[in-house]
Amino acid sequence: MLISNNNEQLFAIVRPLREVRSLGDSRRRSAYSATFAPGRAILSDHAFELVTLKSGIKSLRLIANQETFHPGIGPIAEAQILHVQQQRLVERCAKPGRFVIWDVGLGAAANALCAIQALQHCQADVDMHSFDLTTAPLEFALRHAAELGYLEAYQEPTRHLLTTGQVSLGRVRWYLHRGDFRQEMLRPDLPSPEAIFYDPYSAAGNREMWTLEHFSELRRRLDDDTSCLVTNYTRSTVMRVTWLLAGFYVGIGAAIGEKAETTVASNRLSTLDRPLGRSWLQRIALSHSASPLRDALQPLAPIAPEDWTRLLCHPQFNQQEPDQ
């Protein structure tokens, strides 16, 4: 119990923050509406445009909220670093057996195709389940395959996936699930994953995919006997707290572009290379925006005492060596 001796000290830090909560709510509320507004029209308005990133690489942008897919270093570089490398896909799929990937937010299929490319010589039988509410971004991307580059060699299998819902590429069987991931993931016939590429739109316009309720459900959906790693682009404190309270172990993920770090989560502490530790927890106690994201609308706020107590009791902070 490395941290329990210091619980009193940490409680002492957080207590004065309860007073801060009652101040300046309107300012926090406007910050909140800019960052964590509820889902809006964006999911019903699936119009896209091609954008040229600083690097000269092309990507998609959802016009309704101006959200660019893989905005920093481009689709393939981001997919490679964030998902393929961090998931150690090639290594984990080098031996025979079944390996299940959930690709959440198929979008324009950069993550999925980057994984397929990396796994072309794998020994495992890989089932990759891609989820999306809509195939509009993929259809748009196919119309611009030449400009985007990464899709060019995969146009035929990708069209086959769109038409039939599944396609085989080498040892990878790729499935498409149209619908809301929050419901799709509960289907009992869907095998539990070893790897989740978590890539829906950001919480700014797609809040329901980022709530404590949703992540708690996702954590319960994982098989406790199978270690699963979730890779994602966020580095937000709110999301890290939300994932921890949902029952995940949470660690620092790879840098991408100008983002010095991202976030990974797992149902096993041993899966994480750089788990968040005590010094991170101390920063949470002092943060003005560390309250987990819940279904109910709430302003960005310091963590509430009951959530703080749950964080302190999280096994991540009571098992590991300090510290990051």
Which span (105-113, 148-156, 285-293, 306-314) binds ligand SAM, by CB under 6 A? 105-113
Residue nearest to ligand SAM (CB): 107
Closest CB to ligand SAM among 144 and 288? 144
Q: Which is nearer to ligand SAM, 142 or 272 (CB)?
A: 142
Q: What whole-number distance in Å separates Cα of residue 166 and Cα of residue 112? A: 13
Which residue lies nearer to ligand SAM by CB, 242 or 320? 242
Find where tokens 């809040």 sit: 207
φ, ψ for residue 223 (rounded to 5)? -80, 125
Using the rule CB under 6 A, give the single segment among 108-116, 269-277, 289-297, 300-308 that binds ligand SAM.
108-116
Provide φ and ψ at 6, rounded to 5°. Answer: -100, 5
Binding test (CB under 6 A) with ligand SAM, winner from 72, 74, 137, 292:
137
Q: What secondary structure letter does DSSP report for 67? A: E
Nearer to ligand SAM, 206 or 287 (CB): 206
What pairing do the DSSP bridges indicate for beta strands 98-104 and 67-68? unpaired
Which of 77, 148, 196, 199 touches ligand SAM by CB under 6 A?
Answer: 199
- Binder of ligand SAM out of 206, 236, 266, 289 (CB under 6 A): 206
The type of residue at 193 is P
Task: CB nearer to ligand SAM: give 205 or 299.
Answer: 205
To the nearest whole angstrom, how small is the minimum distance from the Cβ of residue 238 to ligand SAM?
A: 18
Strands (E), the chain: 48-52, 58-62, 67-68, 98-104, 125-132, 166-169, 172-178, 195-198, 229-232, 249-253, 262-266
Q: Near ligand SAM by CB under 6 A, which window of 84-92, 198-206, 243-251, 263-271?
A: 198-206
User: Using the 8-state DSSP alphabet, how is residue 268 labeled?
Assistant: -
C-beta neighbour count of 78 within 10 angstroms: 26
**Residue keyed to tokens 């199978």:** 226
In the shown chain, the binding pattern of residues 168 to 187 toward ligand SAM, with x for contact by CB under 6 A and - for none, equals ------------xxx-----
Nearest to 236 by CA among 268, 219, 261, 215: 261
Compute the radius of gyration of the chain from its Cα atoms. 20
Q: Which is nearer to ligand SAM, 107 or 251 (CB)?
A: 107
Please report, as ranges, the residues that interact with ligand SAM according to CB under 6 A.
69, 75, 79, 105, 107-111, 131-134, 137, 180-182, 199-201, 206, 209
